Amino acid sequence: MSYLNSLRLHFAGKFQAAPSTVNNDPVHFDNRTFIPSYQKFGTGQSPRDVNGWWNPVGDAAWRLIGCRISAAWMKQAPAPASDPIHGCLIADSDRSVSAKLVDLDPEQQMVSEVWGMEIRICTENGTTLLRSHYKTAAFIDIWSRAPVQGDSAFGATYQSTLHDLEWGGIESSPFLQALRDSSVESGKLSIKFNVDGYNMNPGPDFTLGRIVGTIGPCAAGEPDHLVLGRHFMAPPQNPTPYQLNYCPAVVDAQARKIYVDLGNALPTTTPGGDIQPMGTLSLAYVDTKPESIGTIDYQLPRWYESTAGVVELPSRRALTSDELNAVQTNPLAWLAADTTGTLQAGIQEPPGGLYARADQFVFRMEPEQKSEVRVFATRFGAPLPGARIVNVFDPSGLQPSSIIGTAPAVAVPEDALNFPCRIVTGPDGIATLTLHAVDPGNPRSYIDGQVYGVRPMLEATLAYGTNYPFNPVEFISVLVFNRFKTDGPPTWYGSLQPIFVQYANLYPIMNRFLDLKDYESVCNNAKLLLLAFSLRREDPNSMPVTRDLSDAKRAAILEWFRNPGPDGKPLMGSPPPAVESRKVAAPSPAPAAGPPAEPMRGGKTAALARRLFLLRGKSLI
Amino acid sequence: MIQVKAELFADLDGTVAGLHKALQNAIELEHSTIPPYLYALYSLKPGVNLEIAALIKSIVLEEMLHMALDCNVLNAIKGSPRIDDPCFLPKYPGHLPGAVEGQLIVPLAPFSKQLVYDVFMVIEEPEDPLHFPVKALALAEAEKPLTIGQFYEKIIEQIKQLKPGDFSKDASRQLTTGFGPLRTIHVHDVDSAVEAIRLIVEQGEGTKKSPLDPEDQPAHYYRYAEIYYGKKLIANPDPKPGELPYAYAGHSIAFDPGGVWPVISNPHSDSYAPGTKARLMNDTFNYTYTSLLKCLHLVFNGEPDRLGPAIGLMESMKEQALVMMSTVTVPGQTAGPSFQFNPVNA
């Protein structure tokens, strides 16, 4: 099942993502050294000019704009032209505010999640045919997709599921009826979208990018954020111009078809532009030599928008029995013809077809909380029972670095996050990895908690050393919050001021509503703030928008608002004695050692430059 | 003052259905004042003209309350407010819904004292202003006009004819949060329905004896007059015979003309070329505004718990409007939201 299915729709349009970039530098979290220029637009790449980077006034909004359904498929054929699904849109909520795009942490900015999104299928006049909630998910497989510098070059992909499905008047749409019928058992649908062509330059398209996506069925028990299928592994150093990125596929043995999602795998000529010509692209299985199964028409006009990169192969025929047997026991590969006509393997499955990945891979945890992670293991797409999975700390994908100062170390202390070194998959190929967090003890001082990376790996692949193809970004990111205790009944000066000041510093758009640094201003807006801080993280109106407030701090804030003093205002407490030496000078930027971060080209560019991706940590065996 | 069309009175024919229709018209009329007031409010730059902003905001909030009270009364007598309809939105510039044509044309315009005097004070002018008539509007017709106040009086008159069986007992169709009076006035019978309508009239117009509303705040007309005259309305501490009990003699309400964005007047989505930043912002604003109306429709049709999301949408509109109004589109002019129905953000 999943969106890689004969029953599916594709859509294409624009997305808007407007994060505040003040929090892109971990050192900006330090209230003691924060200076007003960190809230100003950056004026250059040098550490002295970078200020609050390229969008300090961002409000974290995530919107779908003009996303039209570009194709709908049923049983290997397009939905009838008379089906009203053609001409419909994929839209976000028409009864709540926009969804929000949020980083996990300033030292893990490579798993930005979309929170609080409602997804609708609606007609041109806004009539809702399907309303659903998008399960919060982070992007994965970010890569440099277009030949430019900076975040505009990037493509990335989001896979998740749609829940709480409310169907509208779909009597005249056989396609939507089929989609509804597919969801009866699981109560959900599968959605995948690819984003690229993000625009950071001032102008009409500022904060906009291209989005193409697919919606299809989701079977009960299926992972929410992962295709249970075949996974093509990009070589560590992608050769150009035949560079393809990680991508999944599913073999439908009954229909004798292979569905491959190239939506985030093909390079483009410009950001958000045409797919780069790579000659003939053919899918093959690699037995003793590559055997082609079919080619794709990726150079046709509007191919990308109308397919979202999903292809069905072989086209116009079914796999023969021999082919079916072969693809189920051999690696699949994409071949590209180079300028001499010689076929080059662009990307292929690893030998033996072994693969394991966590379904959900971003977690926020409270001290003493346990979280269960489902890890799926497969061989050539089939569940792999009894597989031993080794779990290790791997902080190499985190980004403990600052443009202007020294960023706090990540992933220490290790004993604040506990998990078993080994787990074994059950008959269904699924293993449960239990993460157990304890109080990390404020190791980062001015940033709450600590961020960790945990990588599950199939033990069978370790025999290959570091040579077994794997996807570096496929690790679990965990933010463990500090324990937090208030000063008796919480007061502004006793406990809460530093929390509010930090939000005021990092999220200057709030100045349009109130001054979060100022006790009186906070009191004057107590009702609205109480409402917003009371909301679940999944609510698009939830405060803080950054979703980085621990349960304990949230409880303290709510208690503070709900128990005002005799003057009717939340308790102020006593101001600390004014001590001159408390103020610490802002860091004086020095020329950066290490790779250039180029912050004005975007947070993801800078964060990527700061990753190490050296697999290290505990002994594996 | 706003003169109400005779047809609106004709709806009030003694039937419950007629009362439903009249209350729907009242809801639309109350709502129609909000976009122009918000437009002027948001055109004030942050940090300046703060007292003027606070006065306008206080009036806008009460218009929202009035809309909610009308909805509660309509729901209490088994009606269903219609808020998510494209026809619900007035066109600007234009006449307020139900108002006599050929009279006041209400624009979306940045704040100016002239706007307050020429438009807002006319909208809010009581039938008989209490000796603070800043302006006598030339009547278009010879006969005595029918005013909003009279329209509401007629509604009250007909509510008083209702029988207990005409009232709904469905608590889910009453909004009882968001504003203080909604917590205390639970509309469920003739007395509470009359109390709700009476509050609308008195907050808007004051009473016949005082410019103050029941909460001792100057009624809307007098609050706008304070802005126009630049002085707070205060009780005359020692009125001599023949002198008025109130005077615009309180502290000064300063107006800094430089503290207003040079916002376009009466924008329409076509005012912004497709593909421009301003068009995108306007379309997104209108999508948010339409979402708010859809959300409020649910709030007043049995889902009052959606008030929270509705407030979130209002805050989002504010943020978007403030960004638009500080965004220069052509030299010397900034963008402003057109307040149009936009059910898809395409």
Report the run of H or E that residue A303 belongs to, with start and end. Answer: helix A303-307
Give yes or no: residues B59 and B184 share one domain: yes
Helix, strand or coil for residue A356? strand
Give yes or no: residues B252 and B340 share one domain: no
| B344–chain A nearest CA distance, Å | 5
pLDDT tens per residue, range A292-304: 999 999 999 999 9
Helix, strand or coil for residue B317? helix
Q: At which of B238, B260, B282 does a domain end?
A: B260
Q: Which residue of B lies nearest to A61 if distances are taken between CA atoms?
A: B316
Amino acid at A144: S
| In the predicted structure, residue B136 carries a pLDDT above the cut 90 | no
Which of B31, B25, B62 lies closest to B199, judged by CA? B62
| In the predicted structure, residue B141 carries a pLDDT above the cut 50 | no
| pLDDT attached to residue A579 | 57
Give yes or no: residues B11 and B59 share one domain: yes
Map tokens 């005595």 to a residue: B144
| In the predicted structure, residue A618 carries a pLDDT above the cut 50 | no
| A15–chain B nearest CA distance, Å | 11
Instruction: State the pLDDT confidence band at A610, using cuts at 50, 70 and 90.
Output: low
Instruction: For residues A476-493, give the mean pLDDT.
Output: 94
| pLDDT attached to residue B130 | 63
In this structure, of A15-19, B2-6, B99-103, the range with the lowest mean pLDDT score is B99-103
| In the predicted structure, residue B245 carries a pLDDT above the cut 90 | no
pLDDT tens per residue, range A331-345: 999 998 777 777 777
A96 contacts B309? CB cut-off 8 A: yes
Helix, strand or coil for residue A153? helix
| In the predicted structure, residue B137 carries a pLDDT above the cut 60 | no
Of residues A614 and B247, the one with the higher pLDDT is B247
Q: Is B189 inside any structural domain? A: yes
Q: Which residue of B lies nearest to A203 if distances are taken between CA atoms?
A: B277
Which of A122, A195, A128, A119 lies closest to A162, judged by CA? A119
Which of B263, B284, B337 lies closest to A204, judged by CA? B284
8 A C-beta contact, residue A331 and residue A286: yes
Amino acid at A162: L
Between the CA of residue B163 and those of B122, B167, B199, what are the distances in Å?
37, 8, 22
Map tokens 């079919």 to a residue: A294
pLDDT tens per residue, range A279-289: 889 999 999 88
- Chain B CB contacts of A16 under 8 Å are 284
Measured between its terminal Cα atoms, the distance across chain A in Å is 35
| In the predicted structure, residue A418 carries a pLDDT above the cut 80 | yes
In percent, the amount of chain A with pLDDT more than 70 equals 93
Q: At which of B243, B260, B277 does a domain end?
A: B260
* Cα–Cα distance, A525 to B228 (Å, whole number): 28
Residue A77: what are its φ and ψ, rounded to 5°? -140, 150
DSSP secondary structure code for residue A1 in this structure: -
For chains A and B, count residue pairs whose Cβ atoms are closer than 8 Å. 79
List, in sequence order, every residue forming a beta bridge with A453; answer none if it has no partner. Answer: A477
* Cα–Cα distance, A16 to A33 (Å, whole number): 32
Instruction: For residues A442-446, give the mean pLDDT.
Output: 97
Instruction: For residues B3-21, give the mean pLDDT.
Output: 90
| In the predicted structure, residue A159 carries a pLDDT above the cut 60 | yes
A94 contacts B294? CB cut-off 8 A: yes
| In the predicted structure, residue A244 carries a pLDDT above the cut 60 | yes
| pLDDT attached to residue A273 | 96
Q: Write A335-338 long-range contacts (CB < 8 A, 24+).
A: A335/A281, A335/A282, A335/A283, A335/A284, A335/A290, A335/A292, A336/A242, A336/A244, A336/A278, A336/A279, A336/A280, A336/A281, A337/A278, A337/A279, A337/A280, A338/A242, A338/A279
| In the predicted structure, residue A203 carries a pLDDT above the cut 90 | no
Instruction: For residues A541-548, give the mean pLDDT.
Output: 96
A63 contacts B315? CB cut-off 8 A: no
Residues 474-513 of A with CB under 8 A from B: 509, 511-513
CATH number of the domain within which B211 lies: 1.20.1260.10
User: CB-based burial of residue B144 (10 Å sphere; 0-12 exposed, 13-18 middle, 19+ buried)?
Assistant: exposed
Residues ≥6 apart with Cβ < 8 Å to B19: B12, B77, B79, B155, B158, B159, B162
Give yes or no: residues B213 and B346 share one domain: no
Instruction: State the pLDDT confidence band at A587, using cuts at 50, 70 and 90.
Output: confident
In this structure, of A77-86, B64-73, B197-206, the range with the lowest mean pLDDT score is B197-206
| B341–chain A nearest CA distance, Å | 10
Mean pLDDT of chain B: 90
Amino acid at B324: M
pLDDT tens per residue, range B79-94: 999 999 999 999 999 9
Across A41-50, A80-89, A466-475, B101-110, the highest mean pLDDT is recorded for A80-89
Give yes or no: residues B289 and B237 share one domain: no
Q: Is B111 inside any structural domain? A: yes
Residues 267-296 of B with CB under 8 A from A: 275-277, 280, 284, 287-288, 290-291, 294-295
| In the predicted structure, residue A128 carries a pLDDT above the cut 90 | yes
Q: Is B140 inside any structural domain? A: yes
Segments making up each domain of chain A, as ranges:
8-19+60-349, 354-483+599-610, 492-577
CB-based contact (8 Å) between A93 and chain B? Answer: yes
Give yes or no: residues B187 and B278 share one domain: no
Give yes or no: residues B171 and B296 share one domain: no
Measured between its terminal Cα atoms, the distance across chain B in Å is 40
Give yes or no: residues B136 and B226 share one domain: yes
Instruction: For residues A57-69, give the mean pLDDT.
Output: 97
Q: Any idea what the Cα angle at residue A601 is, between residues A600 and A602, rounded to 5°?
A: 90
Q: Is B1 inside any structural domain? A: no
pLDDT tens per residue, range B259-307: 999 999 999 999 999 999 999 999 999 999 999 999 999 999 999 999 9
pLDDT tens per residue, range A354-377: 999 999 999 999 999 999 999 999
| pLDDT attached to residue A279 | 87
* Cα–Cα distance, A245 to A268 (Å, whole number): 12
Instruction: State the pLDDT confidence band at A426, using cuts at 50, 70 and 90.
Output: very high
* Domain that residue B334 falls in: 262-346
> Alpha helices, DSSP H only, in chain B?
6-11, 16-32, 34-42, 50-76, 113-115, 121-124, 148-159, 180-184, 190-205, 220-229, 277-299, 307-325
| pLDDT attached to residue A577 | 78
Q: At which of B207, B228, B260 does a domain end?
A: B260
Which of A280, A248, A250 lies closest to A263, judged by CA? A248
Report the run of H or E that residue A473 belongs to, with start and end. Answer: none
CB-based contact (8 Å) between A208 and chain B? Answer: yes
| In the predicted structure, residue A309 carries a pLDDT above the cut 80 | yes
| In the predicted structure, residue B229 carries a pLDDT above the cut 50 | yes
- Chain B CB contacts of A97 under 8 Å are 288, 291, 309, 312-313, 315-316
Give yes or no: residues B37 and B71 share one domain: yes
In percent, the amount of chain A with pLDDT more than 90 equals 81
Give yes or no: residues B14 and B160 share one domain: yes
Largest CA distance in chain A: 84
- Chain B CB contacts of A55 under 8 Å are none
DSSP secondary structure code for residue B210 in this structure: -
Q: Which residue of B lies nearest to A66 if distances are taken between CA atoms?
A: B346
Q: How many domains would you assign to chain B?
A: 2
| pLDDT attached to residue A64 | 98
* Cα–Cα distance, A246 to A265 (Å, whole number): 6
Instruction: For residues B227-253, give the mean pLDDT.
Output: 86
ipTM metric: 0.92
Instruction: For residues A432-450, give the mean pLDDT.
Output: 98
Instruction: State the pLDDT confidence band at A620, using cuts at 50, 70 and 90.
Output: very low
Give yes or no: residues B99 and B117 share one domain: yes
pTM: 0.93
Residue A97 has its nearest CB partner, among B46, B313, B344, at: B313
pLDDT tens per residue, range A378-417: 999 999 999 999 999 999 999 999 999 999 999 999 999 9
Q: Is B128 inside any structural domain? A: yes
| pLDDT attached to residue B244 | 76
Give yes or no: residues B237 and B271 share one domain: no
What are the tokens at A195?
């984003």
B345 contacts A66? CB cut-off 8 A: yes
CB-based contact (8 Å) between B345 and chain A? Answer: yes
User: CB-based burial of residue A121 (10 Å sphere; 0-12 exposed, 13-18 middle, 19+ buried)?
Assistant: buried
- Chain B CB contacts of A92 under 8 Å are 345
| pLDDT attached to residue A242 | 55
* Cα–Cα distance, A374 to A435 (Å, whole number): 11
Instruction: State the pLDDT confidence band at A205, using cuts at 50, 70 and 90.
Output: very high
Given the candidates 1.10.3720.10, 2.60.40.10, 3.40.50.2300, 3.90.640.10, the CATH classification of the domain at A354-483+599-610 is 2.60.40.10
